[in-house]
Every structure is written in C-alpha cells, then in structure tokens.
Structure 1
Amino acid sequence: MHPLHALGDLEAARLSALKALGYYREERTAYAQVFMLVHLGLVGMLAGQFSAALQFCREAEDLVERSQWTDRNLMAIARLATADILYLQGEVLLVEQMLSESVEPLVRGESWVDLFTRLFWLLARSRLQVSGFDTAGAAIDKAEEVAAERALPRLKIAAGIMRVDLLVRAGMIESAAQAHERIPVLREEAAADQWTWREACDFDIASARLALAQGQALKALDALEDLVSSCKSSNRGYHRLIGEIMAVRAAWKAGRQQQALAYLQSAIALARAHEATQLFLDEGQEFATTLRAIVRRFGLKAFSVDAVEFMSRIVGHGFGRQPRPSVATRNAESGIPAPKGLLSTRETTVLKLLTEGRSNKEMARTLGLSEATIKFHLKNIYVKLGVGRRGMAVSVGRHLNLTASD
C-alpha cells in the first residue's frame, strides 16, 4: 500500500500511482502495471471517483487476461477492486459470487491489509443480503482468522468494526454495543500506526449507526456532521457519501428537516453520476420511509429532474428485497442487447466453442492453449455473465447474441 494512501492524502497517492504506472508502461512490466491499476482503482473508490475507479479496475483485469496468466491470486486482486465498484452500483449477487471465488486465492496468496479489509467488508455486506446474517457473520469470523494467522492488527480492528455494523443492521443492538466497547481495546493493543484514517472513518460511521439505533439521533448527527466535514476537506468521497446518507435519517429523526433535505440532495449529487445506488439501499426500509417523508414535506420541486429519477430507481428497486440478478442475466431475460465489450475477444471465442459443445481439452487444442488457461477464461465468462454452469453460460450467451459472427 502506498504510504500516502495510508495517511489519507488520496490526491497525492493518485498522482504518484499515475506516475509509476506511466513508468511501468514504458518498461512494459505488465505485472507491476496490474498492481498500480488496482491501487488507482482503490484510491479512486475512496475518493468517490467511482466511474474512473471502475475503468482502472477493468483495465487491470484485461491486462491479466491479455497476458494469459493463470495466476489466480493476481486475478482475484484485480477482481476484488472491480467488485468494490460493482457493489456500489447494486450488483450484489455478482459481487457475492466474485468474492466467494476470490477468498481462497487472496488468503493463500500475496495480498495486503487494505485488500483483506475490502474483501471481508464486501463479502459480509453482500452475503447479508444474499443469504442472511449467519453467512455474513462467517465472513467476519474469517477476517478475524486471517488477522490472527497473518498477524494483522489492522485487519483485527477492521473486523471488530465490521461486526458492530453487522449487528446493528441485524437489529442486535445490545450485542452491537458490547462489540463497540471492544474496539478501543483493540486499538490500544495495536501499534499507533495500525489505526489509520480509514479505521477512524469506519468506526465513526459504526458508532453513529449504533447511536441512531439506540434512539440517540442528535448524538449520531453530531458525529456524522464532523465526519462529513472532515471528508469534504480531504476529498474522501466514499466515506462522505455514507456519512451524508446516514445523516439524512439522523437529521430527520432529530427534527432538523431542512438539514435532512440538504444532506439528501448532496448525497444524490455525489452518487447519481456513478449509478451508486447500493449505499442508499443498504440503509433499509427506514431510509426509504425517511426519503418519502422528505418528498411529502418539501415536494419534488426541491429536487432536480435527474435527482427525482435517481430517487425513483432507489425506491422502485425495493428496500429489503432480494438483490438483483447480474446485468447480463437481466438483459438476457428482457431481450436487451449485451453491453459492447462485455466479453473480451478471447472469451468470446471460448464461449463460441463452448456453444458448439467442445470440451476443455478440445478448446485448448483448437486455440493452442493449456487446459488451465481455458478454465481461467471460463471462470471469467461465468462471472461476467452472472452464471455458475456451462449450460447457463451458453443460454445467456445466445440470448445476448454474444456468439454471433461480426
């Protein structure tokens, strides 16, 4: 991890990484390029530049694929960075599938604490929606296990904060309060440099969430106001967005209706351009109720046309419902053409051969590749199409016209 990233100077970290990426491109060192692209993706995500972050992450995945590496750890690293952005855009089922496949190579291979933190945060949140509290809790248990095995006190602290967040979301307020009390102990046990701005922001958010659940709206609002102000001054867009979304409900409950409106308008402005709907949906039915109350109080005239459309998609999506299928699966079911470039040229070729009923060995022989490389491409195809079996990949591919000749 870049030291500037750890200190929270995201713009300096971005510029430094761009400079390094340029150097690695000149030197044609693909492996180092992947890590810089992933780093730029993570920095962009934290800065709230979600669309740009996704481009860097996709480029990292494509570079791994073009190089025909079969390094599962490297692809898992690139895929994790991509999953971070896809989650924000509501692709919960796809993210859960991607991350479930990435846990083993990431845990067994080369990684660093920030990646582990993002992995288990995302895995817990996506599993909470896909399969419930127990599997989400198991993801946090795994985070604590990895923290112990690898002697990563920062990950141990992060896992503790994750648990507070999960318990509050599950309505287990007393247990959440007990877990919350343990965080300062974990911080005290660790070295000073193990409590970075990211742990501080995540803890502030978890603390505010707990206070709000305990009926202490003003306390929560005060904490969120400080968080949002700090994030604004340091361009930490991701945590600012979460803080503003939570502040909508805190301000409304505290009787500060105008302030709730202002936070809602600001949060929508941050999220709308990037299609980042999921953080709103994560706040559940109570947020939906608050949003509707704000609209009743101030009317739609208080919002731009684009903001109204964004809110309609959030409420229309349904708080507390099952997460959506992947984009590819939804498009296949509705007859919508596939997004251009959904699959790479090589993946399209493999899918065509799969459609013809070829075995992995036959595809490897036809393309002059190893069977391991064919399996690697098939896994990528499954993830991008949101499927889990060969037959489903063929079916979705046909619906999306992915194997038609140009």
Structure 2
Amino acid sequence: MDVLDRFENNRLPDVVALDFLVAVKLGDVSRAERILATAGGAALVNLGQPLQASEKYPPQYLFARFMLATYRSEPPRQFLLDEAAQLLARTGPRQHLLLGAIYNALLEPHIRQGRLAEAEDCALRALHHYDAAEAPYLSFFVHVHRAMMGLTTGNPREATECLSAAERSLEKTAFETVQEERFLALLRAGAAYETGEPQAMVDFVETEFSQFAFGELWPSIAALALAHGADALLQLRGQKAAMQFVDRWRLQLWRSRRFQLLIEQRDVAVRQGAQRWRDARTRLEGIATRIGRLWMDTAGDNLADLQDFEDIVQALLWLRQQALEAPRDAALPARLVALEANPRLALRQRICLQLWSVWVDRRQGRIAQARQRLARTLGVCATHQCNAPILEERSFLLPLLEDPQIMRGEMERVAIPRNLRSGAVAAFGAGPLSRQEWRALLLLVEGCSNKEIAREMVVSLPTVKFHLKNLFRKLAVSDRKSAVAAARNSSLI
C-alpha cells in the first residue's frame, strides 16, 4: 500500500493492475471492480457479456478482468476463456511475466470445472515462463496450486512432491515470505490429513489459521481449507468446534455466492458426520440449488453429466443422506453408479461413493458383492495413501468391519487404516446398540418426540416404544433425558 500511495495520481496500466490485485488480495472485490471500471470502463467488469473489440484494452486490464472472474460468483464462461486465448495470442513470446500470469490465472476456472488435465497444462506453461523470467516467487504459487490439485483429487504423495518444489522456490526468493510459509504449512497439514492424520490440520487451525487474510486464500484453496479444517476438527474436537470453524467463514461476507453455497454444504457435511442426520436433512433441503430431493429421485443417468463442482457436492450430500436413511431403497444403487460414472469426480469422492455402495449392498443382502467392493476400495486407499475418506465415512465403515459376514475371504487380508476407531465422534451402529436403537438415540439427541421418531424411521409408534425400551435397558436408564446423558458419558455420542 505504501508503494501504491506514491503512484496516487499515476493511472498507467501497470499501476492500475497492481492496485486491483491489492484490493482483491485484501478481500475487497467491490473496490477492485471500481478500480478496473474507473480505469477502463464498465464493460470490463460486466462478466455476463463478452468484450467488444478486446484488442483496444491494455493487456493488464484484460488480465485483471480475468482475475475478477475468479473471485466473482459467476461460473466460468467460454467467452472469458476465449478472451484469455486472444490475450495470449497478442502477447509477445518474450513477455514471460505476463504469459506466466495469464496461464496461472487460467488454473482456477479449469480446476473449478474439473478439467484437471487442462489445469496441469496451464501450470506447466506458467512454470516455463516464470522460470524464463527468473521469478521463483511466482513459480511458488503455481507449485502450490498443483499441490492443491493433488489434495482435492486424493493424491497426497503427488501433493507432497509439489510442496517440496514450492519450498525450493521460496528458498530462491530474496525477500521475507511469512505468509507464503503459512500456505506451505496449511497444505502440508492438508497432505497429512489426506493420509489419515488429522492432528496437523487441527494444530494449524487452532494456532496459525487466524493469521491468514481471508482474501489471500484463492477460491480453490479456501474451499480446501474449509473442508479439511472442518472435518479434522470434527474428528478430533467434535461438532461444536467444527461448526465454530465453519461459522468463522460465514462472517466473510465479501465471499461470492458460490463460496457461501460451499459453506452451507460444509455445514450439512459436519452435521452428517456428527450423526445429526435429521438436522442435516433439514439444512440440505433448505439449500437453494436445483439439486434437491425431487431432482435426485428422478435424476437417473443425469448424475453422470453434472459439471459444476457445487452440483456434484450437493448430489454427494444427498446420496450420503439417502444411504443412511433409506439403504434398502431399490433405486439407490443405480443413483450411486450413475454419479460414480461422472468423469469430473475426484478419486476421494469415488472412494466415498464406493463406501456408501458397500453399505447399501450389505443392507440389501448382497453380502459377497459388498465384501469384494469393500476390499477393493480399501486397497485403492492404501495404494494412493488416501485414507481421509475412510475416516470421514467411519459411520458407514465401522459397522461393516464388525460384521462377521463381511470380514471373511478377501477382507481377512486387507489392512485397516489406523485412527479409524479413535476420535471425538462415535461411529453410527458400532458398539452395543442395534442399528435401529442407534437411530432412535440420535433422534432423541435431536429432541424428537416419539411421533417424530416414528416418522423419521418409518415405523409405528409401538415399534418406537419397543426400540426405546431396549435402548433404556442397555444404557441402564429409565427416561429420555437420562438416556442422552448416559450415551454422552459412555462416549456413544
């Protein structure tokens, strides 16, 4: 900011672009829009329409327009990608810094739309130009982006290699890089989390995360930090800590509508992971997207064609909810298969789908198929060192591992990840309670009456009373309030 103040009356394109980037990094997207519109006209910040005669604008303004698209709520549009291609074509081959910046900016939209091969190509081209310009500091951010791609796709080994390259770039940087060191620490904690070790992420969230200026977290890395931070806290600290972390993100009102949607989706995921299934469904039904219950019931093969990251996450949340609430639904296996066929799914998302499919297979009596699928899925996790989905889905997995019909044959030779039975949140269906008694207990915790429990479990009132009677007997209590207290004291919930 001190440097910019000295150029207060200088509106050269380089100064405007720098002023724009500072505003974006501080999280003030509205101010960044005003800077760009004042310098180049309102058409530059209208991301709903292509620019007319884009060649008349300075390259720095076009680059800023493309960066604005990254931080705004509109989905990446093809004409913006076309404008970026035109800008590349008019940029001289020796303008390495600008060429590297354009390819770097293209990373976010490609990642967001699941075009990871295109994103990797842009990353390698950006690195080529930054190396030619001898700009190791800028190369650092490309390596970080590649590491983030490895984490979101469930390849922590690849992510760790990219983080080592990012560290080498920082070592070549001549000035202080405190915030960049925090980026490295965040992503290293993310890599540890993906291998099934959440402690490093919890430590980072509790000690370092508040030092970030939220505007400095690019959208894709912010989404990663939100998901990993909330899930790690849920596993080791419990629902309250995880929800407090999610609520901290809610306060960042400058975030786009897209990111606000990701926050709402993470809220649902935390409630599901904490066994607050009824509460989670209420929240899920309240999210304003086209992917609702009715859409899911009639989606069929359309699940394989979903393209937007947010739509895929929403469909995954619905399938997770349905696997728990209606595992014997005859149409559920077809939905799981259809979404798994979606080419935009990341490896870790496929692992979650596979675990829910195992659960559904077991509930529908396909025991051999469930056993084979589970052994294959755990093998994939071991090969890729991708154990985080196993911990996140322990509600489904632990009861399967306690099922003698599942733990035969090929499952006798499968290594079970450690940390699976530890943590702040107990697994649904594990321990002394039957599956129905567990559901009744969880609904008691959510404050449901007997009628509400009957409606949620799709059983009669006498059946509810039967399950509650058995639940009270196993917990050695005589009433609802004491049952909840006893379950907490014995770490069942």
Shorter-chain TM range is 0.5 to 0.7
For residues 349-379 of structure 1, the C-alpha deviation after alignment (integer angstroms, 9 at most, x for no partner) is xxxxxxxxxxxxxxxxxxxxxxxxxxxxxxx
Q: CA deviation at 1:36?
A: 0.7
**What secondary structure, in the 3-state scheme, does the structure 2 residue paired with 1:255 have?**
coil
Residue 118 (structure 2) aligns with: 12
1:255 aligns with 2:357: no
Query: For structure 1, which runs of at least 5 residues remain unmatched after alignment?
Result: 189-194, 324-406
1:160 aligns with 2:276: no
Distance in structure 2 (CA, Å) of the matches to 1:278 and 1:322: 15
Distance in structure 1 (CA, Å) of the matches to 2:175 and 2:362: 52
Correspondence for 1:181 among 285, 291, 298 = 285
Judge which range, 271-280 or 122-131, deviates more.
271-280
Distance in structure 1 (CA, Å) of the matches to 2:266 and 2:249: 10
1:243 aligns with 2:353: yes
Judge which range, 243-252 or 56-65, deviates more.
56-65
For residues 196-241 of structure 1, the C-alpha deviation after alignment (integer angstroms, 9 at most, x for no partner) is 63222222221122122323453554433222111xx346222212
Give the conservation status (yes or no) of the 8 Å contact 2:291–2:311.
no
Residue 269 (structure 1) aligns with: 379
Residue 325 (structure 2) aligns with: 214
For residues 160-211 of structure 1, the C-alpha deviation after alignment (integer angstroms, 9 at most, x for no partner) is 11111111222222211111012235999xxxxxx96322222222112212
**What secondary structure, in the 3-state scheme, does the structure 2 residue paired with 1:2 have?**
helix
Residue 30 (structure 1) aligns with: 136
Judge which range, 124-133 or 106-115, deviates more.
106-115
Q: CA deviation at 1:292?
A: 4.2
Q: TM-score, structure 2 length as denominator?
A: 0.56
Q: CA deviation at 1:42?
A: 1.8
Distance in structure 2 (CA, Å) of the matches to 1:54 and 1:238: 17
Q: Flag the 1:14–1:259 CA change in 2: closer, same or farther, 3 A.
A: farther
1:52-201 mapped onto 2 (5 Å cutoff)? 52-65=158-171, 67=173, 69-146=175-252, 148=253, 150-185=254-289, 197-201=308-312
Q: CA deviation at 1:280?
A: 1.0
* Displacement over 4 Å in runs of 4+: 185-188
Q: Choose between structure 1 and 2: higher helix proportion.
A: 1
1:287 aligns with 2:397: yes
Q: Flag the 1:200–1:257 CA change in 2: closer, same or farther, 3 A.
A: farther
The one-letter amino acid paired with 1:269 is G
Q: TM-score, structure 1 length as denominator?
A: 0.67
Distance in structure 1 (CA, Å) of the matches to 2:214 and 2:395: 38
In the alignment of these two chains, the number of paired residues is: 305
Distance in structure 2 (CA, Å) of the matches to 1:99 and 1:153: 24
For residues 12-61 of structure 1, the C-alpha deviation after alignment (integer angstroms, 9 at most, x for no partner) is 21122122223322322112111111111122233333311221023223
Distance in structure 1 (CA, Å) of the matches to 2:291 and 2:136: 38
Distance in structure 1 (CA, Å) of the matches to 2:121 and 2:412: 34
Distance in structure 2 (CA, Å) of the matches to 1:283 and 1:216: 15
Distance in structure 2 (CA, Å) of the matches to 1:97 and 1:69: 27
RCO higher in structure (CA 8 A, sep ≥6) = 1
RMSD value, Cα: 2.8
Correspondence for 2:339 among 214, 218, 227 = 227
The one-letter amino acid paired with 1:319 is R
Give the conservation status (yes or no) of the 8 Å contact 2:163–2:188.
yes
Query: For structure 2, which runs of at least 5 residues remain unmatched after alignment?
Result: 1-106, 293-305, 426-493
Distance in structure 2 (CA, Å) of the matches to 1:145 and 1:210: 27
Q: Flag the 1:108–1:176 CA change in 2: closer, same or farther, 3 A.
A: closer
